[in-house]
Amino acid sequence: MRVGLTGGIASGKSTVSEMLAELGATIIDGDVLAREVVDKGTPGLAQVVEAFGPEILTDQGDLDRPKLGRIVFNDEAQRKLLEGIVHPLVFERYAELEAAAPRDGVVVHDIPLLAETGRADDFDAVIVVETPAEVQVERMLRDRGWTRADAESRIAAQATPEQRRAIATHLILNTGTREDLRERVREVYAELLAEA
């Protein structure tokens, strides 16, 4: 069973992903793959440098993610340019990893921008993790050391909660304790197994 997992930045999607893995799901993480395809020495990084210039590299030749983030999250055309480079490379890796997964299991594709890419129909089910925007901002300020403006621009660049809910077959509201979240994840996983 192919499942898409998505949610806004700092919504708790990664925690839900970890909990699903503990329950036995195979996880294919879009964030990890998005970093992997632009690692130092990759064709993806070469394409990003060609598009944005060598100033987006650190002195060590790695992608300067904060610098690139400031460019693309404040300019929709630049963000679409970056997505046009990275998304095809990520989807190629998804296909390779999915082909290697067990045939009778639940394969969860952890895709931060699933609503934005219009690929929800590619999956048998879609889990959306949702958290109030103010909680997302507080987490980014606390956990990532971002400014409020950076956090709010990141949220504004992503799909709205309504757009995510429109693609959801399973909604996980992350508004309670970690144990509340774990219990809801167990319920959703049981539903997925029943549907498989």
Cβ atoms of 172 and 127 within 8 Å: the answer is yes
Of 42, 8, 34, whose CA–CA distance to 174 is shortest?
A: 8
Please provide residue 27's backbone torsions phi and psi, each rounded to the nearest 5 degrees.
Answer: -105, 130
Cβ atoms of 11 and 131 within 8 Å: the answer is yes
Say whether 1 sits in a helix, a strand or coil: coil
Does residue 48 sit in the same domain as residue 98?
yes
Domain boundary among 104, 127, 148: 104
Does residue 15 sit in the same domain as residue 43?
no
Does residue 116 sit in the same domain as residue 195?
yes
Does residue 112 sit in the same domain as residue 148?
yes
Output the domain CATH number for residue 100. 3.40.50.300
The pTM (predicted TM-score) of the whole model is 0.76
Q: What average pLDDT score do residues 69-84 get?
A: 92
Which of the four pLDDT bands, split at 50, 70 and 90, describes residue 33? very high
- The domain of 132 spans 1-25+106-196
pLDDT digits (tens, 9 = 90+) for 81-120: 999 999 999 989 988 888 888 887 899 999 988 999 899 9
Domain boundary among 63, 78, 104: 104
Number of domains in the chain: 2
